[in-house]
């Protein structure tokens, strides 16, 4: 199984870039994992929130491949403890043949068409994080899950 984190727009702040890259590299020791960036739309000031979401949604759908298992990162999705997420990843590794694709929306979230295309929704908290910050939180949790499955000393409970 390949795992992809699909995000809308480049990560802009250097402190996030450094930390995200660190966890992506660490995670790759355990899992075939990559972060794929959909370039941000240009001239968004002239677009309404709905039109921006719609256009970003089209780009997200274009980036998907047949057979992808699509999981939206969404405040309203299913919440899991870290050990439950580790178990979830274990089950996916045993059942998904192609790609497991986690998607983080743009500043205004997902269009209805993206919600329709998704198989699952997963929440990292009931609070809302910025679309930039949530990348870091997700890659840290994915790394944590991998260390739980591989018996590493990173997670304590």
Ligand X SMILES: C[S@@+](CC[C@H](N)C(=O)[O-])C[C@H]1O[C@@H](n2cnc3c(N)ncnc32)[C@H](O)[C@@H]1O
Distance CA 9, CA 90 (A): 29
Binder among 4, 105, 136, 145 for ligand X (CB under 6 A): 105
Which of these, 19, 13, 143, 142, lies nearest to 71 by C-alpha position? 142
| Contact stretch for ligand X (CB under 6 A) within 23-31, 40-48, 91-99, 120-128 | 120-128
| Contact stretch for ligand X (CB under 6 A) within 13-21, 35-43, 85-93, 121-129 | 121-129
Binder among 32, 130, 150, 154 for ligand X (CB under 6 A): 130
Distance CA 98, CA 83 (A): 24
Nearer to ligand X, 115 or 152 (CB): 115
Instruction: Tell me: is residue 124 an annotated ligand-binding position.
Output: yes
Binder among 74, 85, 111, 144 for ligand X (CB under 6 A): 74
Helix-strand-coil split of the chain, %, nearest 5: 45, 25, 35
- Collapsing DSSP to helix, strand or coil, 24 comes out as helix
Instruction: Tell me: is residue 128 an annotated ligand-binding position.
Output: yes
According to DSSP, the residues that pair with 100 across neighbouring strands are 3, 69
| Contact stretch for ligand X (CB under 6 A) within 14-22, 62-70, 72-80, 143-151 | 72-80
According to DSSP, the residues that pair with 88 across neighbouring strands are none
Q: Which alpha helices (DSSP H) does the chain contain, by range? A: 14-27, 49-63, 82-95, 112-117, 133-149
Q: Does 56 bind ligand X (CB under 6 A)?
A: no
Summarize the annotated binding site for S-adenosyl-L-methionine as residue ranges: 73, 105, 124-129
Summarize the annotated binding site as residue ranges: 73, 105, 124-129
Write out the residues near ligand X by the rule CB under 6 A.
73-75, 104-105, 107-110, 123-125, 127-131, 134
């Amino acid at each position: 199984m390949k795992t992809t984190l699909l995000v809308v727009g480049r990560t802009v702040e250097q402190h996030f870039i450094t930390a995200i890259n660190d966890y992506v590299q660490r995670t790759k020791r355990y899992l075939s994992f990559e972060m794929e960036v959909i370039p941000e739309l240009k001239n968004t000031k002239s677009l309404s929130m709905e039109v921006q979401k719609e256009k970003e949604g089209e780009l997200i759908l274009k980036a998907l491949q047949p057979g992808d298992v699509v999981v939206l990162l969404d405040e309203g999705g299913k919440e899991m403890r870290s050990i439950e997420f580790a178990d979830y990843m274990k089950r996916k590794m045993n059942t998904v043949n192609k790609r497991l694709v986690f998607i983080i929306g743009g500043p205004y979230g997902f269009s209805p068409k993206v919600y329709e295309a998704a198989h699952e929704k997963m929440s990292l908290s009931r609070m809302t994080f910025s679309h930039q910050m949530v990348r870091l939180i997700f890659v840290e949790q994915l790394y944590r899950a991998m260390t739980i499955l591989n018996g590493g000393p990173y997670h304590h409970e």
